Amino acid sequence: MKTYTITKVSGSPDWSAIPALEMNESYYKTLEEIPVRAWTQIAYNDEALLIRQWTREPNIRRELTGMLDEVCEDSCLEVFLCPIEGDERYINVEYNPNRSRYLGFGTGIPDLVRLVPEDNNDAFDPKVTMTEDGWELTYRIPYAFIRRFFPDFAPEAGKAMRVNCSKCGNLTEIPHWLTWNRLPCTPTSFTFHLPSKFGRMIFG
């Protein structure tokens, strides 16, 4: 299991000072066989988790724009988090370059519930920048949102939660699936939705 320390910041983060993790576990093809790389940074302040993800990715697919679209078909960046260690219920947040979002809650695909908050994207404040060789995504996950499902969530130094970060593109020119922590995979069975296989993140 990989680990990562979440940096405490005041206000907005200086991303140049936040450690980055790479989603370098590849499925069905090796990293050498696909021209895609992806990274994540996570920080926290008094109000929210702060997420930055970015890719090096040619031939970006960005077709979907609907509130309930399957954004994993496009170029997509994702975070899965179990906010309370020992509780395998998780929240997953997925965005494509159009800022279309898939937001879910559950313990796995069979009981996953799609979520559409009343304020839609506003509280998450997603921002996308297209770069010379890929795209970058930043957003926040307010504690007020997390506590709708986990009322006891308290991001304090030394506490931990289970997290995985992923990059996919099911219908991109070169389909790809990348994660931070390795997931069990067979030719007939694969899913990102495996909280028991997430990594461990510790609040610094």
- d(C-alpha 172, C-alpha 157), whole Å: 40
Per-residue model confidence as pLDDT tens digits over 18-63: 999 999 999 999 999 999 999 999 999 999 999 999 999 999 999 9
What confidence category does residue 121 fall into, taking pLDDT thresholds of 50, 70 and 90?
A: low
186: exposed, middle or buried (C-beta count within 10 Å: 0-12, 13-18, 19+)?
exposed
- Nearest 5 degrees, angle CA 29-CA 183-CA 88? 155
**Who's near 155: CB < 8 A, 6+ residues apart?**
6, 44, 49, 143, 203
Question: Which of 58, 65, 92, 61 lies closest to 74 in space, CA to CA?
Answer: 61
Q: Domain coordinates of the chain in residue numbers? A: 3-10+18-203
Q: Are 96 and 64 in contact (CB under 8 A)?
A: yes
Is-contact 120 99, C-beta < 8 A? no
Q: How confident is the model at residue 122 (pLDDT cuts 50, 70, 90)?
A: confident
pLDDT for 67 equals: 82
Q: What is the pTM for the complete model shown?
A: 0.96
Decide which of 3.40.50.620, 3.30.9.10, 2.60.40.1190, 3.40.1440.10 is the CATH code for 3-10+18-203.
2.60.40.1190
